[in-house]
Amino acid sequence: MPDLSTVFTGLRFENPFLLSSAPPTESESNIMRAFDAGWGGVVSKTIGLHPVVNVAGPKTKFFRTGVESDAITMRKIPDAALHSSWNWELISTKPIDWWVPRLMRIKAAHPTKMLIASIMAGSGSDEELRNWQTLAIACQEAGADGLELNLSCPHMDRADMGSNIGKDAALCSTVTQAVKEVATIPVWSKLTPATGDIAVEAGAVFRGGAEAVVSSNTFPSLPVIDPDTLEFEINVDGLVSSGGLGGPAILPISLAKMAQMTKAFPDKAFSGIGGITTFTHALNYFLLGCGTVQVCTSAMLDKAIGPNVIAGLNAGLAEFLDHNAHRGWTCLEDFRGMRRDRIVANSQIRRPVDEDYFGGYEGYSNDGSGTSGDGASGDDSAESAPTAAPAAKGTLPPGFARS
Ligand SMILES: Cc1cc2nc3c(=O)[nH]c(=O)nc-3n(C[C@H](O)[C@H](O)[C@H](O)COP(=O)(O)O)c2cc1C
């Protein structure tokens, strides 16, 4: 049996597979069962200090799509395949006093498993920043091995909380720094994918001192409308609010977000989440540079904590290492990040005919003569043209010049 263990942010994981912060990790019994089933680590359901009251109705449902039909629906349909999860569940309804003795018991029962506590507070005042510190201290004193800062819950009305922090680079940095002031254990920041360039917020939490970035939380989304009743398929008294999409549908978009960050910070630590059920899915995140991955939706649908999912992930990694033993690979580190550099600008992809293409800019040549047809004079100042603004005719931003 190959060695599946890995060291991530200084913590030794038996295997790189974690249950993410969500219903599978909302109770002591679930987390104990998860460790017994073989998960290398868990991130607890997010713990906070503010009032939490969930909606009066189902908090999570699953979209399915039919092989025979083109439906994407929460209704039961034949030959259905899982499309995604949709939820508008808030963080743990249990207070920190409820969690502390449970974290202690879990850690005592499973000293070699990694227990990460997810925490969340506001950011609108010094008192809120102290709340982050209160939560951090309580969880680390209870024996948590690491902290995950929830900067990404997509359904918070409070402007200073959840993904509203994750959308603001300055707040990302401030909150992370506040926790780092008191933390003696590694701090991971979980970012929202709902931003233009997630590498900006990743840079901010790293500047704040985070040991790792975690992504993705669920994507902001709505349930679909039933064409017969004209009601949202999940609603309370006919009303709905934005919720979060997870599961298979988000794998490719979550990978794109992750690649933005791992390319910008190739030497930093990342934990990948989004749409993982099998090792084949997880492999994508590892090849982009992630050192661990986390799972929610598929575990929810597998006896609440994913015993079959983790068995498959561990077997898949073992088989993959075995299959690639001839390359000298013995552990995750030997192949981590090896496909990160394959993601390039569209203009760097080979064209079918022998024609120059400059990403939509007018032609340019490095010898200063310009190219035919555009009247360009090969202005040297092109080298310093900003990438964000369209370049003047005949000029190119850095990175587009051809040798
Ligand atoms: C019902 C539900 C509750 C969740 N609660 C939390 C939470 O409390 N804290 C958190 O950081 N993420 C939470 N998440 C997000 C998941 O941890 C995960 O980031 C997301 O579902 C994407 O992973 P998946 O595609 O494997 O589902 C929740 C997700 C679901 C479906």
Of the candidates 121, 57, 62, the residue with the CA atom closest to the CA atom of residue 89 = 57
One-letter-per-residue 3-state SS of the chain: CCCCCEEECCEEECCCEEECCCHHHCCHHHHHHHHHHCCCEEECCCEECCCCCCCCCCCEEEEEEECCCCCEECCCCCCEEEEEEEECCCCCCCCHHHHHHHHHHHHHHCCCCEEEEEEECCCCCHHHHHHHHHHHHHHHHCCCCEEEEEECCCCCCCCCCCHHHHCCHHHHHHHHHHHHCCCCCCEEEEECCCCCCHHHHHHHHHHCCCCEEEECCCEEECCCECCCCCCECCCECCECCCEEEECHHHHHHHHHHHHHHHHHCCCCEEEEECCCCCHHHHHHHHHHCCCEEEECHHHHCCCCCCHHHHHHHHHHHHHHHHHCHHHCCCCHHHCCCCCHHHCCCHHHCCCCCCCCCCCCCCCCCCCCCCCCCCCCCCCHHHHHCCCCCCCCCCCCCCCCCCC
Helices 251-264 & 198-207 angle (0-180, nearest 10): 50
pLDDT in the model for residue 391: 43
What residue's CA is closest to ligand 1, atom 23? 274
Q: How far is the CA of 21 from the centre of ligand 1 (A)?
A: 6
Q: How far is the CA of 349 from the centre of ligand 1 (A)?
A: 35
Pocket mutation for ligand 1, best pick of 190, 296, 305, 313 (most atoms within 8 Å of C-beta): 296
pLDDT in the model for residue 364: 61
Structure tokens at 168: 């603001």
List 19's β-bridge partners, or say none: 42, 295
Residue ranges matching CATH 3.20.20.70 in the chain = 6-341
The residue count for the chain: 403
**Comparison of pLDDT for 111 and 366, the residue scoring more:** 111
pLDDT in the model for residue 374: 40
Question: Would the pLDDT of 43 be above 90?
Answer: yes
Q: Which residues contact 403 (CB under 8 A, 6 or more apart)?
A: 366
- Can you tell me which atom of ligand 1 is nearest the CA of 248? 25
pLDDT in the model for residue 387: 42
pTM as predicted: 0.91
List 81's β-bridge partners, or say none: 65
pLDDT in the model for residue 130: 98
Distance from C-alpha of 185 to C-alpha of 168, rounded to nearest angstrom: 25
Ligand 1 pocket, Cβ-based, cut-off 6 angstroms: 20-23, 45-46, 60, 85, 87, 89, 91, 118, 150, 190, 216-218, 246-247, 250, 273-276, 295-297
**pLDDT bucket at 402, cuts 50 / 70 / 90:** very low
- Can you tell me which atom of ligand 1 is nearest the CA of 294? 26
Rounded to the nearest 5°, which phi and psi values hold at 388? -75, -35
What residue's CA is closest to ligand 1, atom 21? 246
pLDDT in the model for residue 399: 53
What average pLDDT does the segment 264-285 reach?
98
**Comparison of pLDDT for 67 and 242, the residue scoring more:** 242
List 60's β-bridge partners, or say none: 87
**Contact by Cβ (8 Å): 120, 147:** no
- The CATH number given to 6-341 is 3.20.20.70
**Comparison of pLDDT for 140 and 76, the residue scoring more:** 140
Structure tokens at 193: 């994918």
Question: Would the pLDDT of 393 be above 50?
Answer: no
**Comparison of pLDDT for 378 and 46, the residue scoring more:** 46
pLDDT in the model for residue 379: 38
